[in-house]
Structure formats: C-alpha cells, structure tokens
Amino acid sequence: MDNAVQIQLGAFEVATTQNKGHDIEFWAKTATDRIVNIGGNAHPVIAQQAEAFKQSVFQTIVYYMQQSALSEKATLAGEMEKQGHSDMAKIIRSL
C-alpha cells in the first residue's frame, strides 16, 4: 500500500532584524501589500491608478501606526511615572 503525501507550500517571505524590531515602514508596506494587490495583466492606466491608491494606503497606515507608537509610549511612560520610575519614563519618552 502506497500512502504518498504531497505538500505544496505557497510563497513566503522572511525578514529579520538585528537587536530591534521592524520599523513602522516595514509593517506599513507589509499591510499595504496584503490590502492592495495590482494584477500583472491590469491595463496600464488602471495599474497606474492602483499604484497611486496603494501609495495613499501606505502613507495612511504609516501615519496611524506612528500615532499608535506615540500613544503607546505615552501610556508606558505614564505608567512608569505612576510607579515612581521617572528615570525609566524619561528613557521611554526619548525612544
């Protein structure tokens, strides 16, 4: 009896960093690429419009992710202040 198993993997991508996490632009590009996909067979005018839309989506994601990061830092710094760690709060605010 032959029980052959065939597994087919889709395309995947690996991105690494050294001593830090990925920056906002990396995550914004990743999100944008998942949200907006421009087909290779698209009419050039449609592809151009789609690319402009994709850039707009990217910039919007970057802006709101930056706001989220600032908000998170403010929350962490505030919590450090409440716990009596003003030195750590200062470090967090400077990041």
Instruction: Decide if 32 is inside a domain.
Output: yes
Instruction: Decide if 6 is inside a domain.
Output: no
Instruction: Decide if 33 is inside a domain.
Output: yes
Contacts of 77 (CB under 8 A, 6+ apart): 89, 90, 92, 93
- Domain hosting 36: range is 24-94
Instruction: Decide if 13 is inside a domain.
Output: no
Instruction: Decide if 9 is inside a domain.
Output: no
Q: For 40-91, write each residue's pLDDT tens digit.
A: 898 999 999 999 999 999 999 999 999 999 999 999 999 999 999 999 999 9
Instruction: Decide if 1 is inside a domain.
Output: no
Alpha-carbon gap, residue 63 to 61, rounded angstroms: 5
pTM over 0.85: no
Tally of structural domains, the chain? 1
Residue 2's pLDDT band, with cuts at 50, 70 and 90, is: low
